[in-house]
Chain A
């Protein structure tokens, strides 16, 4: 076998390994990622899951190429002689390889940038069309929620389904992190400042709220729940609550 034949044989092996690993990566991205993510209770979370799927699929061929080269290098190109292996011939320039590398890297990076900016634009747009505002207060180690235009406060969050909700988030003491897990929104709660985020819950049920900033002794217990109700049930709940201003 000539060196040229040997080179083609190596490339062929790398290609087939790359193809198999890419297929596995794509399958994991399409089927495994949504399975690992929480149940979506908002369009924002749907988009987050879609982003995870697309980014995983996009990353699969890149990661597969690295794995393929590593596998071939470790199994076939491994030095099996005694002592220190001799150095290989110097490589000076490979225009086709460099061009492919630059073009593919640029395309992938631009794709990720455009995707991310597009989703941020969608997310930021949600705040401007909010139908109701919730005042969120974090303090060591409880969340409390005030419903704008009312005297009602609660320790569990109640939301009407299919309603654009804006959250104005602050803290009474240290920095906390307000995260509604299944709705895909998260923002820091800072003392003496108000941060905002927005979401439209589109699924009835009870979901999780957690603090994402280590905030002291009982940070791990700074969790509560959000109940997404029908609009009628939400109005009924709100009307039944005492003023707790």
Chain B
């Protein structure tokens, strides 16, 4: 092998390695949630206090569900997709406009037990630090009786400081609907199971500023039997975690 050929091959190897690493980096940087985006709907304007001053801003709304089995959330495909028995939020790819008041409604069909940290029984970071459960205003929920939480924070390095955490109370009818032939007046069939016809409805609002991406997940240990119960649905994107993109 001539010296020139050796040098060219060496440089080509380095260049190829750089291209592979760059391609992997670009692919990861542009990795998007697999679910179709759920865009917020416009519900008018609202006046809220931002940095101590009243401001009228765009008001948008999102509605998602929390289900005991992912087969109830149709975004996972026919009969719940790969893991039909995993607990799931109905959508993990939420999109809202910038500088807007966002109201999220969670229709809760799942049961619940005790949080591993009672701090997440409190409503934190919403407008006035309150949420509405079936129309009732709450600032906290019994940490021994919580279904899930919606806990959202800024992406590292984005400079945004938002932190929103809301306990989602359990739907106690979920156990009633567990039998093979439950009471059809309160339970509805879905896939191979049943779930309560009437969800627990949780509403909360918060303000989002400039463009960016926030990450959210559930802080109730609902991911199976691994240590801390943060396995399966809690450790796989698309079930109990997701993003809220501000555009």
Contact = CB atoms under 8 A, between A and B. Distances in A.
Interface in A144-173: 144, 153, 155-156, 172-173
A193 interface: no
28 contacts: A139-B117, A139-B228, A140-B228, A140-B230, A141-B217, A142-B153, A142-B219, A144-B117, A153-B119, A155-B124, A155-B163, A155-B165, A172-B228, A173-B221, A174-B230, A216-B230, A217-B217, A217-B236, A217-B241, A218-B241, A221-B153, A221-B155, A221-B156, A221-B215, A225-B161, A242-B139, A244-B122, A245-B118
Contacts of A223: 153, 156
A217 B119 contact: no
Interface string B229-244: 1100011110001000
Contacts of A210: 156
B116 interface: yes
B227 interface: yes
Contacts of B71: none
B163 A156 contact: yes
Nearest to A171: B228
Nearest to B116: A172
Interface size range of chain A in the complex = 20 to 34
Contacts of A141: 217
A156 B165 CA distance: 13
B117 A172 contact: yes
A119 interface: no
Contacts, number: 61
B38 to A, nearest CB: 20
B80 to A, nearest CB: 20
B197 to A, nearest CB: 32
B103 interface: no
A189 to B, nearest CB: 12
A44 interface: no
Contact of B230 (A144, A153, A173, A244): A173
A122 interface: no
B151 interface: yes
Nearest to B121: A244
Given A156-B163, A173-B227, A217-B235, 17 more contacts: A137-B119, A139-B228, A140-B234, A142-B153, A142-B219, A153-B119, A155-B163, A156-B161, A210-B156, A216-B235, A217-B217, A217-B234, A217-B236, A220-B156, A221-B155, A221-B156, A245-B118
